[in-house]
Every structure is written in C-alpha cells, then in structure tokens.
Amino acid sequence: MLKNYIITNIGQLMGILPKETLLLKGEEMGHINVLHNAFIEVEDRKIKSFGLMENCPETESHLVNIHGDWLIPGFVDSHTHMVFANSRHNEYVMRLQGKTYEDIAAEGGGILNSAKKLQSMDEDTLYKKAHKFAEEAIAGGTLALEIKSGYGLSVESELKMLRVVKRLKNDLPISIKATFLGAHAFPSEFKSNHQGYIDLIIKEMLPSIANEQLADYIDVFCDKGFFSVDETSQILSAAAAFGLQPKIHGNELGLTGGVQTAVDNNALSVDHLEHISDVEINYLLNSNTMPVILPGSSFFLKIPYAPGRSMIDAGLPVCIASDFNPGSSPHHNLWFTWSLACLYNGLLPAEAFNALTINGAYALGLSNSHGSITEGKKACFISTRPFESINEIPYWFAQNHAKKVWY
C-alpha cells in the first residue's frame, strides 16, 4: 500500500471528529459528521488533511479518484477469539437438538473442547489458521483488532496462543492488541480446586506473559458457572501489578456482578451484557468503562440481545464487536454485526456506525489513532459504493460492503 496519496472525488467522507473526541455517548451517538464531494490527503500513512474537492491541494502526490464512492473509517473489532484450532460444528448440532450452551460446557464441551484441540496443535498451524481469518476480516474492513487467548488453559498453551498473536501483530498491516484470557474456564483437573488454577494464573502465567511482553490487556469470564466475582477480583489485582488493564466478559449468562467488578477494577470495557438492569447501567454511567455488546453471540446462541437502546437512552456509550470464536460466534463480518445491532439491540444505523468506529477504538485504547477521520490519525479507511443514506448500509444485511480497504 502507498505511504503518500490523495483520495479524490469522495461522494461522502464520513465520521469526521475532532481529535479530543475519544468516544461518543448517549445522543451524540446518533450524529455522523459528513463532507460531500471531498478529498483526503495521506502522508506517511497518516491523515494529513481533508476537505472539499474545490480545496484539494495541487501536489505531486499520487491521486486516486474514487468517482463518488463513500469513505468511512476502518472498523475496529475490539473483541475476538481469533486464534483457535477447530470449529465446534458438532456442538452447534447438539444445540439445534435442544441442548444449551451451558449444558454443553458443564459436560466438558465448549471452551474445554476448544482447549483440548488447541493444546495438541503446533504454533505454526495455529498461526496459519488465524492469519487466514485475519486476512478475511481485513478484506471486510476490520482495520484494528483485538485477539484473546483463553483456549490454552495451561501455562504452555496460553503462551503458545499469545505468541501466535505477537506474530500476527508483526506480520499484518493493521493494529492488533493481545488480551490474556487464561481465566476463560476452569480446566477439568481444577474443577474442584479453583484456587489451584487461580494460583497457576497468578504465579506462573502472568509473570511469564509479562516477561515476554505478550499481552496488552487481561480478561476474565466473570459469569455464572465460570469465574465468581471474588475469583475475578483476585486475578485482576494480580494483573494490575503487571500493568494489565482489564477488558471483562460479564453478564452474558446472568446478573452476576460482572459489570460492578469490571468498573471497580477500572476496566477499559465490559463485554456481552445480555443481562443488565438499571443498577448496572447506573454503575457504568459513573465510570470510564465502555459497554461492548456482541450481537453475533446472541444470534448464534439464541440468547437475549443486550439492550443497547436502553443503554444509549440512559446516556451511555455503546460499542459493538464480533466476538469471533468457534463456540458462540463463528463469524467476523462487522457488516452483519451492524445489521444485527440495529434489528435486535435497538441501535439506529448511525449509532451502530459510531459503535463500530470511534467507540470500538476506545474499547481498544486506540482512540488517538483510529476510529474517525481526524488529522494525524492512521490512514485506515473503507470505501463503499454510494448509498441513498447511511440507513441503507445495515438494511442490505450480511453483505461485505467494503469495495476497497485502505491501510
């Protein structure tokens, strides 16, 4: 990709924000700043300037005429489990036949099934699989990405997963953040010895991960049947000593205190939130923690959708992400996520656009470089055909509308 160029004849340049805006919340989420018939100038892969075509600079720069197509900021997928060994299509069929996700997990399937397969797969094979998924996601417009560990569940295999993520960071042209999710499930040998596994995370996994600088964030699956609030707090305090800020899986399976635990531990985000009451909404209102909703897992597991509408009406910011993983959300198509968020989480198309861009960037600590058209930010964009309105994009559901991605 070129380092210096000017894109000209942009039908609509969308998602322009001042550099002080790190996130959008409540009513702000319904607005998108747009320039019609615009140019954008890129220097050293960063946005140098943008404006109306009549003010397009006359330079020696390479010009790329997009003839009226639209240009939007690249999507930020702030929650994925992109490194895994195999699909879990057999569990999908078990669910079609009536079992629930929790039944399957309690029988040793689910996350433990993925862990068993990942433990016996070598690092290179895992890397190749994840690299292919990442390339597909990039082609769809995902231009910053988070990837979690959590299918290793042993010192060796958690490190193996995070080393794969480190290689992806080095090899792919987009920003990637790594999240350590050793506390994704209790391995069966620790079923009756939770403290034993927590000690393994605290005394062995965290120091090794910090030593190799393999993680940017820490995550815990704080939910019914997984990690309790007390267990989560113990792990998060230990991670804080290594400088790892939390991004928490919470309130997917019940009102279990995940939101409060996330906020009390200064989490950057709390993700899922299919179960949330006014108490949690008020708690989030007094915090810097981004609520992230994951419509793909509600769709695939047939569980309730997080009430995004009530959250925005209460004045909260909302982010949406794919939750790409083999158990609850085997897709990374953020265009489909956009449509689901509108149809089932109650977001309006413009709100979902902001949820996927600037609020996604916030949920990854990337608001200073991603998520909007702002001078100085990284030049990562998606061009699409022109639409009649932004509302038309999620209406055409389950399509990849990225005509070209720029990074």
DSSP string, 294-353: -HHHHHHHT-PPP-HHHHHHTT---EE---BBTTTB----HHHHHHHHHHHS---HHHHH
Contact 374, 42 (CB under 8 A): no
User: From the list Fe ion, ligand NIG, none, which binds 338 (C-beta under 5 to 8 Å, kind-based)?
Assistant: none
Tokens 């399976």 map to which residue? Answer: 253
Q: Which is nearer to Fe ion, 56 or 270 (CB)?
A: 270
Beta-carbon neighbour count of residue 90 at 10 Å?
11
Query: In whole angstroms, how close is the CB of 298 to Fe ion at the nearest point?
Result: 12
Longest CA–CA span in the chain (Å) reads: 70
Contact 121, 155 (CB under 8 A): no
Token pair belonging to 200: 């393994």
The CB-nearest residue to Fe ion is 323
Q: Which is nearer to ligand NIG, 110 or 349 (CB)?
A: 110
User: From the list Fe ion, ligand NIG, none, which binds 221 (C-beta under 5 to 8 Å, kind-based)?
Assistant: ligand NIG
Q: Which is nearer to ligand NIG, 275 or 378 (CB)?
A: 275
Query: In whole angstroms, how close is the CB of 226 to ligand NIG at the nearest point?
Result: 7
Q: DSSP H helical segments within 172-326, as ranges?
A: 194-199, 206-211, 229-240, 258-264, 278-285, 295-301, 308-313
Contact between 274 and Fe ion per CB under 5 A: no
Token pair belonging to 12: 């609509």
Q: Which residues bind ligand NIG (CB under 6 A)?
A: 110-111, 114, 221, 249, 252, 297, 323, 325-328
Token pair belonging to 243: 């400088």
Q: Which is nearer to ligand NIG, 134 or 181 (CB)?
A: 181
Query: In whole angstroms, how close is the CB of 265 to Fe ion at the nearest point?
Result: 18
User: From the list Fe ion, ligand NIG, none, which binds 287 (C-beta under 5 to 8 Å, kind-based)?
Assistant: none
Q: Which is nearer to Fe ion, 77 or 323 (CB)?
A: 323
Query: In whole angstroms, how close is the CB of 114 to ligand NIG at the nearest point?
Result: 5
Beta bridge partner(s), residue 145: 77, 176
User: From the list Fe ion, ligand NIG, none, which binds 179 (C-beta under 5 to 8 Å, kind-based)?
Assistant: none
Q: Which is nearer to ligand NIG, 325 or 333 (CB)?
A: 325
Contact between 323 and Fe ion per CB under 5 A: yes
Token pair belonging to 69: 């197509």
Query: In whole angstroms, how close is the CB of 249 to Fe ion at the nearest point?
Result: 6
Query: In whole angstroms, how close is the CB of 324 to ligand NIG at the nearest point?
Result: 9
Q: Which is nearer to ligand NIG, 175 or 325 (CB)?
A: 325
Beta-carbon neighbour count of residue 109 at 10 Å?
19
Stretch that binds Fe ion, among 52-60, 212-220, 260-268, 322-330 (CB under 5 A): 322-330
Distances (CA, A) of 376 to 115, 141, 230, 297, 348: 41, 20, 42, 35, 29
The identity of residue 302, as a single letter, is K
Query: In whole angstroms, how close is the CB of 82 to ligand NIG at the nearest point?
Result: 12
The CB-nearest residue to ligand NIG is 327
Instruction: Supply angle C-alpha 225, 85, 96, rounded to 5.
Output: 55
Tokens 């820490």 map to which residue? Answer: 218
Positions touching Fe ion (CB under 5 A) are 323
